[in-house]
């Protein structure tokens, strides 16, 4: 399953509840304001067993490259790579 987060307003408990449902067979994409989540909760994203990606144009638009690149389990991806993820992981759960 592909989990996509477009907002950064999740309290930590709510975010953890969503992330606890993920498995190593899933992927997480942070886009739009969702890219703030890995900056807001770096310890949560550093300990994930699930592949996690942040859309590079959204990271760049918010000037967060330095912060996002310092988080171990979060990789920035292009729009082309996002399309490839949507082809591989389904269904998608937009949060």
Q: What is the CATH number of the domain that holds 41?
A: 3.40.1260.10
Tens digit of each residue's pLDDT (9 = 90 or more) over 41-93: 999 999 999 999 999 999 999 999 999 999 989 999 999 999 999 999 989 99
User: In which domain, by residue range, is 65 found?
Assistant: 2-94
Sequence-distant (6+) residues with CB within 8 A of 50 are 19, 22, 23, 24, 26, 27, 28
Return d(Cα 54, Cα 70) in angstroms, integer. 13
Total domains in the chain come to: 1
Tens digit of each residue's pLDDT (9 = 90 or more) over 7-46: 999 999 999 999 999 999 999 999 999 999 999 999 999 9
Return d(Cα 51, Cα 26) in angstroms, integer. 7
Quote the pTM value: 0.94
CB-CB contact of 33 with 57 (8 Å): no
């Amino acid at each position: 399953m592909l989990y996509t987060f477009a907002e950064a307003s999740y309290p930590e408990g709510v975010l953890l509840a969503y992330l606890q449902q993920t498995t190593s067979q899933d992927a997480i994409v942070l886009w739009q304001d969702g890219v703030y989540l890995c900056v807001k909760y770096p310890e949560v994203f550093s300990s994930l067993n699930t592949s996690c990606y942040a859309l590079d144009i959204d990271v760049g638009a918010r000037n967060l490259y330095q912060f996002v690149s310092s988080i171990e389990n979060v990789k920035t991806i292009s729009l082309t790579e996002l399309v490839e993820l949507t082809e591989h992981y389904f269904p998608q759960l937009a949060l």
